[in-house]
């Protein structure tokens, strides 16, 4: 479990692992300044003269031996005007892992504690500087793999999604207040139109459901879409895998069955990241190893977001080719006819009739002919629409809670449709308020907090 104390002082390296030009160590807590004063000596001025938000040049020094470890700059942020709303010190040194680790060791010896994953952002949330949606956006921004994802995360960090949810809650509470008033003061003949209530609830439900539906686009940007290359043995799956990646990642030989297990690599096309999967040829296994490879391949294909069906156009089609289309044809797919540098023998029309909604393309994975067109087609078919215009849900937790809220609103609408009394409608709506609190992190759950912040890097 996370240590949710905020009355001690934590320390961590806040720059990525490995050597670099600059490395930063960060301290946060009531003793951040005094601990820094023990290990950092300004070049000029008093030992603890750390003016707020002004860089001070000096040296990290072992207080026990007086040995200078490195020179650098110190920045002091006084609470509450800091990232965590506590006193925060950041010291920039040369980016040697040995130097940074020793600086942290000196800070711990002076009274700090090693920070847990995400504990600086956890303190920012715990101290009310950000809510849980903004905390998740911090990690999304750090891990963003495309400019689109970074922009979305930056907007959410600035509170765009929080504002949307709060506005929806305000509308929701206004509807509930009208309903409650009509219950409490039945003789006042309040002007409460059932049609107006229904219209407002329908609008809230539609906006909630639109957010839920945005999760597919958000998942594609944050995690990448899984795209499986499916075909019989020796149709050129590994050659295509390597060609799309631009490197020899998979072993390619003229022998059938070279790939015994699946390989997975990231492929970026435009602003979309795909998890490209090369797998064993699906057909009759010759050995126990091939059988296991085929089983794993079927699992990967079944779970994939999209399929590249690969066929050898230099050979006649077989029942095995048709069987693959029957097996996975319900998925979004592209039919790829490989080896167009050889004479055509396949009758592609029959296969296209089995997957009429899937676009088709002739290529040569070996020579590269048609690969640029295939990349564009992959993007056009599988990439989600540009989500930059509005809020997008990036996490399954957010989607699940939003679904719960939307179901409560829909239940209220169904109560209206059944002609239920105002009390029943209000009770259905009242059930949604705790879910809104959980979504924003106002109702705190240790399990949810641990799950969210354990994904962070230690220095953030």
Give 92-143 pLDDT, tens digit per residue.
999 999 999 999 999 999 999 999 999 999 999 999 999 999 999 999 898 8
- If you average pLDDT over residues 9-14, what whole number do you get? 96
Q: How far is CA 119 from CA 82, 125, 274, in A?
A: 14, 10, 31
Residue 286 per-residue DSSP state: S
Give the CA radius of gyration of the chain: 29
Q: Which among 177, 196, 127 has a CA at the least distance from the CA of 433? A: 177
Show the domains of the chain with their CATH numbers.
10-130 (3.30.1360.120), 139-214+392-441 (1.20.120.430), 221-382 (3.40.50.300)
Residue 280 per-residue DSSP state: P
Q: In what order do the strands lie in the sheet with 306-312?
A: 263-269, 272-278, 225-230, 306-312, 333-338, 360-362
- If you average pLDDT over residues 282-301, what whole number do you get? 62
| The model's pTM | 0.77
Distance CA 59, CA 55 (A): 13
pLDDT tens-digit profile of 25-72?
999 999 999 999 999 999 876 666 788 999 999 999 999 999 999 999
Residue 306 in 3-state DSSP?
A: strand
Q: Report whether pLDDT(389) > 70.
A: no
In the prediction, which pLDDT does 149 show? 82
Residue 249 per-residue DSSP state: -
pLDDT tier, 261 (very low <50, low <70, confident <90, very high otherwise): low
Asked if residue 338 lies in contact with residue 312, where contact means CB atoms within 8 angstroms, the answer is yes
Q: Percent of the chain beyond pLDDT 90? A: 38
Alpha helices in 78-118 (DSSP H): 97-109
Instruction: Calculate the average pLDDT of the chain.
Output: 84
Q: Which among 430, 372, 368, 379 has a CA at the least distance from the CA of 269? A: 379
The encoded tokens of residue 9 equal 């002082």
């Amino acid at each position: 479990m996370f240590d949710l104390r905020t009355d001690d002082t934590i320390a961590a390296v806040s720059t990525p692992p490995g050597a670099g030009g600059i490395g930063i160590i960060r301290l946060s807590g009531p003793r951040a300044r005094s601990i820094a004063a023990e290990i950092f000596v300004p070049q000029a001025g008093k030992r603890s003269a750390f003016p707020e938000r002004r860089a001070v040049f000096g040296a990290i020094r072992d207080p026990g031996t007086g040995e200078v470890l490195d020179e650098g700059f110190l920045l002091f942020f006084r609470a509450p005007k800091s990232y965590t709303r506590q006193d925060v010190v950041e010291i920039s040194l040369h980016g040697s892992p040995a130097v940074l680790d020793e600086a942290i060791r000196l800070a711990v010896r002076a009274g700090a504690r090693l920070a847990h994953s995400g504990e600086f952002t956890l303190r920012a949330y715990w101290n009310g500087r950000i809510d849980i949606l903004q905390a998740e956006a911090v990690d999304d921004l750090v891990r963003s793999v495309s400019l689109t994802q970074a922009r979305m995360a930056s907007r959410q960090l600035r509170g765009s999604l929080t504002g949307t949810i709060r506005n929806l809650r305000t509308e929701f509470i206004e509807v509930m207040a009208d309903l409650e008033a009509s219950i409490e003061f039945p003789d006042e003949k309040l002007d409460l139109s059932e049609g107006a209530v229904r219209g407002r609830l329908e609008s809230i439900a539609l906006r909630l459901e639109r957010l839920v539906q945005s999760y597919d686009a958000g998942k594609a940007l944050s995690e990448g879409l899984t795209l499986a290359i499916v075909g019989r043995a020796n149709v050129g799956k590994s050659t295509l895998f390597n060609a799309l990646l631009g490197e020899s990642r998979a072993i390619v030989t003229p022998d059938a069955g070279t790939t015994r297990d699946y390989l997975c690599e990231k492929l970026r096309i435009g602003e979309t990241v795909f998890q490209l999967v090369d797998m064993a040829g699906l057909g009759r296994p010759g050995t126990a190893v091939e059988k296991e490879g085929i089983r794993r391949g079927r699992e990967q294909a079944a779970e994939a977001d999209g399929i590249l069906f690969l066929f050898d156009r230099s050979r006649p089609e077989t029942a095995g080719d048709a069987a693959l289309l029957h097996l996975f044809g319900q998925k979004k797919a592209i039919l790829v006819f490989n080896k167009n540098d050889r004479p055509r023998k396949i009758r592609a029309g029959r296969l296209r009739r089995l997957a009429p909604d899937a676009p088709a393309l002739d290529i040569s994975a070996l020579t590269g002919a048609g690969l640029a067109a295939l990349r564009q087609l992959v993007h056009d078919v599988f990439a989600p629409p540009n989500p930059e215009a509005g809020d997008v849900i990036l996490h399954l937790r957010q989607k699940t809670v939003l679904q719960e809220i939307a179901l409560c609103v829909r239940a209220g609408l169904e109560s209206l449709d059944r002609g239920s009394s105002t009390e029943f409608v209000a009770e259905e709506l009242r059930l949604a308020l705790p879910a809104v609190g959980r979504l924003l992190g106002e109702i705190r759950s240790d399990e949810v907090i641990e799950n969210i912040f354990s994904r962070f890097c230690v220095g953030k």
